[in-house]
Chains A and B, each alone.
Chain A
Amino acid sequence: MKKLFYLNTLLLLIGCGAAGAATAVPQPTTTPPGFDRQALLENITHQIAIPAHEAFVARAEELATAVATFTADPTPETLLVAQDAWRAATVARTSLLTFRVGLVDDSLLHNRLDNRPARTTFIEETVAGTVTIDDAFIESIGSSSIGLGTMEYLLFDPAGGSEAVLARYTTAENAERRRAYLLAVARNLPVKATALLQVWTPDGQNYAQAFIAADMDGGELQGSMNMLVNQMISDLEEIITTRLGKPTGNTANGQARPDLVESPFAFWSLPRIKATLGTMHAIYTGSDGVGFDDYLDFLGAQTADGTPLSQAIEAQFITTLTAFAAIEGTLHTAVTDHPDQVNAAYEEVRTLLVLLKVDMANHLGVTLTFNDNDGD
C-alpha cells in the first residue's frame, strides 16, 4: 500500500517536471457558472433563421408575381422587374445556406430551389417539344431544370442582352411554350420556399423546437451548435474551393476561368457569396442578441496576443466583407481585370476559415465527425 503510494507520488513528480518545459496553456478563466446555450439557439432561430426564411418566401412570391406579369405582357419594363425580382430572390436564398442543418438538410428542398448549373439542353428540348408544361410537369422533372438556376438561364442573356431575352418570349419560335416553362418554374418557387419555411415552423415540421432543445449534445453528436459550426465551416470551404476557387483558378490550375462563376448568366455571383457570409456573420454575433461571440467570451477564449478570440473573429468577418465590397465589377470580369482584389477576398476567407475551424472549434469542442472517438 505504502509503496504504491510512494510510487504514484514519484511518478507524478517526474511527470510534472518533465512536462513542465512545454508551452503554457491558457488557464480557463472562471466566469460565473452557466451559459444558456439554448438562449443562443433560440435567438439565432427566431431572430435570424426564421425571419430569413420568411423573407425568402416573400422574395419568391414577388418573383412569381413579376414573372406572371412578364409572361402575360413581355416588355422591356416587365422583364427588368422580373430580373430584379430574381436578383433579390437569389440573394435571399443564398443567405439561407448555413441553416442547411438537420431536418432542413434532410428535406433536400435547397436542391429543388437552386441547383446549378442549369440543364440548358433539357430546358431547350422541352421548350421545343410537345409535352404539356404545367405545375405537375415541373414537379416531376429534375432539380437542374427548375428553380433559381433555371430562371437565371431563362431571364438573362449575357451575350444578347435583354433584347435577345425579350425576343425569345415574343417573336421567337416556341415563345409561348417558353413563357409557359418560365411561369411554371416561377410558380413552383414560392411553393418550395414555403415548404422550406414550414420545416422550421409549428404549422409544418416545427424543427425550430427540436433545434433549440438539442443544444450541444443531442445524443448522436447532432447537437445544434455543432451542426451550425460545421455548416459554417463547410460553407466557407465551398467559397474557397468552388465559388471563388474555380473562377479564379486558385483551386484548379491557377488559370482564371470566368466561365466558371456560379451565376454565369446574370453575373450575380458576388452578391450571392456576400449573402452567405452576411448570414454567417449574423449567426456568429447573434445579431442583436446572444451569439457565438458571447459564448467564446464565456469560455475565456483568447488569441496569441491575449485579446479575446471573439473580437479577432469579428474583426476578420468585417475585413472579409470589406474585401468583397472592394471588388470592382462582377466576379466574371474581376477575376481577369482585378485578380488582386478577388484574391484579397479569397485570402480573407481562408483566414476566417482557420479562425472558425481551428480556433473557435477547438474551444467549443465541436466534434466534426460522427464516428467513435478514442477514449479511456
Chain B
Amino acid sequence: MPLAISEIAVTERKAASRHFSFSSAFSASSAVLTRSVSSAPLVVLRVAFGLLMAASMVRFMARGWVTELYVLPQFHFTFWGFDWIRPLPPSGMWLVFSLLALLGLTIAAGLATRPSLIAFFLLFTYVELIDKAYYLNHYYFVSLLTFLLIFLPVQGEWSVDGRIGWRPSQPSVPTWMLWLVRAQLGLVYFFAGVAKLNPDWLLAAQPLTIWLHARTSTPLLGPLFDTAWMPYLFSWAGMLFDLTVPFWLSWRKSRGVAYLAVMVFHGLTGLLFNIGMFPWIMIACTLVFFDWEFLAKRRPSGQTAALPRWVVGFLGLFLVVQLLLPLRHWLYPGNVNWTEEGFRFAWRVMLVEKTGQVTFTVLDPATGAQWHVLPSQYLTPQQDKQMAFQPDMIIQFAHFLAAQVPQPVEVRAEVYVSWNGRPSRLLLNPEQNLIAAAPDWRPKSFILPP
C-alpha cells in the first residue's frame, strides 16, 4: 500500500536522524553557544571572587604566614621549569600580598578591571610558584580562574570602569563565555569525584575514617564520628556529590537544590577540616551557574561581546588542556596516590592521609665519610611534612644538601611512608643516589611499589 505523502516525510526525517550529521550538530551547538545572554553571572562572579580574594589575602597576612612561609624558610621547593622563581625580600613579599588584597577590591569594584586581573594573576601565580610545599588545589584554581577572567568582558553592566567610561558597558555575552567558566568549575568537582573512585575511598572509607575519628569533639555530629558507618556515608555522599554536582548545577530545574547542597557540603567540610578558604571559594564561584537575569538592566540583545578568533581558539585549547592534565597520571606506572606522579594540577583533593619520615644519608666518596641529615634541621614543619611523601621534592632537597658541602657527595634517602592507615613502607629505593636523578616530570624508576 502506498504511503501518504506525510508518512513519507516522517520516514525520511527518521532516516535522517539515524544518520548523525556533524555539520548540522556543529551549527546547532554553535548557535546555542553564541546565543546572547545576560552578562550578570560574570559580574556576580567577579564581585564575589574579588571580595573573597581581598579577604583571603588579609587573612594570610594577619596570620603571619607571609613571614612563616616566604621569609623564614632557608630553602624553597621550586616547580620544574620555574626554578628561577625566588621570594622577594620580606618587604617585597608584604608588598605583593598587600597589592593582591587591593587588587581583589579593584576587581570586585570593576575598576581598571582587566589590568587588575592581569596583575592579580601574575602576582598570585608568582607567589604560588615559589614553593610547591604550599601547593593547594584551590590556589591553582584561583590562578586558572583569574586567567580566564582576563579574557572575558567581566565588567558587564556593573563596574566602575563602565560608570566612568573606561570600558563600555556589556549587558550581553555569548553563552559560551558563561559555560567556559562553569566548565572550569565543573571540572574541579568532576575530577575530584573521579579521583574518589578507588577502593580506599569507597570500600574502606579511608581517609575519612581517620579524619572523622580525629573530629569527635565537633558539636552534635561529633559522637557519630567514632561509628563505623559514618565515614562510609561521608565517603559515598562526597563521591556522588563531586561527580554529579556540576550537572545538577547546570540543569535549571535542579539548580536551587544543587546550590543548597554546595553550601551544606562545603560548609560541613569547612567546619570539620582545616581547609582554609576552599569552601568559601567554591560557594562563591558556583554562583556563576545562576543566570541572575533579575539583575540585568537591559534584556540581552544581539549585540554581544565578541572576541578575536585566536582568543576563542586559545580558550578552547585551554579547556582541552584542563581536560587532559588530570588524566596524565595514567601515563605513569603505579598508583598515583602512592607515587604522587601526576598528583598535582589534577583536582585530587582530600584523597589521602599520608605521613612520612625521610632520613638522608650524605656520602663523601673520596673519604668514605657519611652522615645523616633529618630535613627538620633545614625545613619548616610544613615543608618537612609535604616533602616526606613526594619523590620530586625529596630529590630537590637531596640536591640542596649536596650543595651545602664543597666536595662532590652522593645523597640517599630512607623514606618511610604510611597512607590511609597502611603500615609504613619504603617509598624510594634507599640505594638510589638521588644526585643522579633530576626533580623533573619523568617517571622515577626508583619509586618502590606500595
Contacts and interface: CB of A to CB of B under 8 A. Distances in A.
A371 B382 contact: yes
A365 B210 contact: yes
B207 interface: yes
Interface string A264-303: 0000000000000000000000000000000000010111
A372 B274 contact: yes
Given A8-B243, A11-B243, A359 B424 contact: yes
A373 B275 contact: yes
Contact of A299 (B189, B194, B213, B274): B213
A374 B350 contact: yes
Contacts of A303: 423
Contact of B371 (A23, A24, A252, A371): A252
Interface string B353-387: 11111010000000001111110110001101100
Given A8-B244, A15-B194, A365-B353, A251 B422 contact: no
**Interface extent on A, as a size class?**
35 or more
Which of the listed residues B337, B382, B424 has the most CB atoms from chain A within 10 Å of its own CB?
B424
Interface residues of B, number: 88
Interface in A80-94: none
B126 interface: no
Interface stretch (A57-65, A148-156, A215-223): A215-223
A213 to B, nearest CB: 9
Interface string A249-272: 111111100000000000000000
A336 to B, nearest CB: 16
Interface in A13-58: 14-16, 18-20, 22-28, 30, 33-35, 37
Interface in B176-207: 188-189, 192, 194, 196-200, 202-207
B353 A376 contact: no
Contacts of A374: 136-138, 275, 278, 349-350
Contacts of B244: 4, 8
Contact of B226 (A33, A237, A255): A33
A34 B223 contact: yes
A364 interface: yes
Contacts of A373: 136, 273-276
Interface string A130-148: 0000000000000000000
Contacts of A365: 207, 210-211, 213-214, 353
Interface of A (DSSP majority class): loop
A368 interface: yes
B228 A358 contact: no
A349 B448 CA distance: 24
A196 interface: no
Interface stretch (B22-30, B306-314, B413-421): B413-421
A376 B227 CA distance: 23
Interface string B390-434: 000000000000000000000000001111111111000000000
A267 B196 CA distance: 56
B198 A237 contact: no
A162 interface: no
Contact of B355 (A19, A215, A249, A357): A357
Nearest to B193: A11
A70 to B, nearest CB: 40
A247 interface: no
Given A25-B199, A216-B214, A237-B374, A375 B349 contact: yes
A251 B354 contact: no
A358 B337 CA distance: 16
A12 interface: yes
A349 to B, nearest CB: 11
B381 A368 contact: yes
B132 interface: no
Contacts of B134: 371
Nearest to A20: B199
Nearest to A306: B423
Contact of B423 (A250, A309, A364, A368): A309
Nearest to B188: A376
Contact of B278 (A23, A251, A375): A375
A362 interface: yes
A369 interface: yes
B69 interface: yes
Contacts of A8: 240, 243-244
A250 to B, nearest CB: 5
Contacts of A367: 274
Contacts of A249: 371
Contacts of A66: none
Nearest to A213: B217
Contacts of B194: 11, 15
B231 interface: yes
Nearest to B241: A376
B410 to A, nearest CB: 14
A26 B450 contact: no
B349 A357 contact: no
Nearest to B65: A371
Interface centre among B270, B354, B357 (most CB of A within 10 A): B357
A216 B216 contact: yes
B303 interface: no
B423 to A, nearest CB: 4
Which of A15, A215, A353, A372 has the most CB atoms of chain B within a 10 A radius of its CB?
A372
A192 interface: no
Nearest to B425: A304
A108 interface: no
A16 B197 contact: yes
A375 B279 contact: yes
A240 interface: yes
B217 A215 contact: yes
B199 A22 contact: yes
Contact of B274 (A4, A221, A245, A253): A221
Given A369-B381, A372-B277, A361 B355 contact: yes
Contacts of B354: 362
8 contacts: A8-B244, A26-B204, A223-B214, A362-B420, A367-B274, A368-B355, A371-B65, A375-B350
Interface of B: 65, 68-69, 134, 136-138, 188-189, 192, 194, 196-200, 202-207, 209-211, 213-218, 223-224, 226-228, 231, 238, 240, 242-244, 247, 269-270, 273-279, 282, 335, 337, 347, 349-350, 353-357, 359, 369-374, 376-377, 381-382, 384-385, 416-425, 449-450
Interface of A: 4, 8, 11-12, 14-16, 18-20, 22-28, 30, 33-35, 37, 215-217, 221, 223, 234, 237, 240-241, 245, 249-255, 299, 301-304, 309, 350, 353-355, 357-359, 361-376
Given A23-B450, A371-B65, A371-B69, 11 more contacts: A15-B197, A28-B209, A28-B231, A216-B214, A252-B371, A255-B369, A302-B423, A304-B425, A358-B418, A362-B420, A376-B137
Per CB-CB distance, the 7 closest pairs between chain A and chain B, nearest first, are A15-B197, A375-B275, A372-B276, A19-B198, A365-B214, A362-B418, A30-B228
